[in-house]
């Protein structure tokens, strides 16, 4: 069972507080850990957290000189 929207938002806000602009990246790492352990409900939870982070956090511009990778945000 997936966590409530409120719980997902709390996790997202906690990740933003702890990791700032890297919050979505850190949450995505947790998705990968869950996949490696065949924890599908955990994967779904962290995917929802990543989505919530993107909703809560303004877009972060790329650092000077960095290049956008086409399709990386899909």
Least confident of 4-13, 38-47, 50-59: 50-59
pLDDT tens digits, 63-73? 676 665 554 44
Domain ranges of the chain: 5-56
Q: Residue 14: count other Cβ atoms within 10 Å of its Cβ.
A: 12
In terms of pLDDT, which residue wins out, 60 or 54? 54
The mean pLDDT value for 32-58 works out to 95
pTM as predicted: 0.76
Alpha helix positions (H), 1-74: 5-19, 23-36, 40-56
Count CB-CB contacts under 10 A for residue 41: 11
């Amino acid at each position: 069972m997936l966590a409530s929207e409120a719980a997902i938002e709390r996790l997202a806000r906690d990740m933003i507080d702890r990791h700032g602009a890297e919050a979505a990246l850190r949450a995505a790492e947790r998705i990968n850990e869950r996949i490696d352990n065949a924890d599908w409900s955990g994967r779904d939870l962290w995917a929802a957290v990543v989505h919530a982070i993107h909703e809560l956090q303004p877009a972060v511009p790329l650092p000077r000189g960095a290049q956008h990778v086409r399709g990386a945000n899909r």
